[in-house]
Structure 1
Amino acid sequence: MNGATVTLTSTKIRPAHMGDVKIIHTLLQQFANRGLLLGRSISSLYDQLRDFVVYDDNGVQGVCSLHICWDNLAEIRSLAVVESSQGQGIGRELVSACLIEAQKLEINRVFTLTYQGGFFRKLHFAPIEKSELPHKIWSDCIQCPKFPDCDEEALIWIND
């Protein structure tokens, strides 16, 4: 499997700042309340703030994080775009920013657990069996109300 060349076309992507945490929390909770992603506590957002990038166009319109899990393995998670801004390529740009960061860190394998498999397939992610991922990644899953019956799809991007 070969990841496509990743480019970033937006200048509106930036690292998340301390002042973004409550906005990110509210955005993620909107989707978590609908069962579309795993919510994050404000405390965990502060703890993992460096993992996050935001799309800032006169305010945060989207968010995504790259969480390092293991040797040469990271996860794209907490991808959310304000509903009125969806369909404009913001999600693609956020994921691309995370993949570029993974490449800078020399991480060649990036996975996601998602309900939006079609979106990630367009970005050259391919299906993977959850059992092929290290057990260490399941630490967040234990807190999920759907555990152990996760119905998210596991997809992976490999840059070789």
Structure 2
Amino acid sequence: MIRKARMADAKAIHKLLLSYAQQGLMLSRSLADIYEGIRDFYVFEVDEQVVGTVCLHICWSDLAEVRSLAVDAAQEGRGVGRKLVDACLDEARGLGLQRVFALTYKPVFFGKLGFHEIEKSELPHKIWSDCIKCPKFPECDEIAMSIEFRDPAAD
């Protein structure tokens, strides 16, 4: 089951994200950061246990980032990540956003969801505020991917 995160989920989210950060697959996020941004998170529950999480971070009036996607290793390959990203994309469409991006080491996964590879230089400089905290900065090896939504009002 997917739902918006609650305060009680923060420690489980932190644990999932920490496991990915320790593998060098994403930036570490403090528990305080998670509490502060809890409204941006979704969780996926199995038997009342949080086994996946993702965050939709709004960057600008027309742009958001899918970030902090983490799935418990025991649940990988079961569609948990896809469902979490789909929830973010549904919310982005509902908010009227025109574009969502992700910085990832899993371009095939995001490609299957309709994202396409872009140059990082296409993204506004404002989004790089988190990158400065990364030990890989400025030699980022993540792949930038983006999905755009058609504006039905333009038809």
TM category (shorter chain) comes to over 0.9
**In structure 1, C-alpha distance between the alignment counterparts of 2:37 and 2:149, rounded to whole Å:** 25
Displacement of 1:37 after TM fit? 1.1
**In structure 1, C-alpha distance between the alignment counterparts of 2:133 and 2:91, rounded to whole Å:** 27
Deviations 1:67-101 (A, max 9, x none): 00012000000000000000000000000000000
1:4 aligned partner: none
Displacement of 1:28 after TM fit? 0.4
**In structure 1, C-alpha distance between the alignment counterparts of 2:21 and 2:137, rounded to whole Å:** 15
Matches within 5 A, 1:108-147: 108-147=98-137
- Secondary structure, in 3 states, of the residue corresponding to 2:57? strand
Matches within 5 A, 1:7-156: 12-58=1-47, 59-156=49-146
- Between structures 1 and 2, the one with greater helix share: 2
Displacement of 1:46 after TM fit? 0.9
Percent identical among aligned pairs is 56
**TM (normalized to structure 1)?**
0.92
Displacement of 1:27 after TM fit? 0.7
The answer to which structure, 1 or 2, has the higher relative contact order (CA under 8 A, 6+ apart) is 1
Letter in 1 for 2:118: I
**TM (normalized to structure 2)?**
0.95
Deviations 1:108-155 (A, max 9, x none): 200000000000000000011100100000011111111111000000
Gaps of 5+ in 2: 151-155
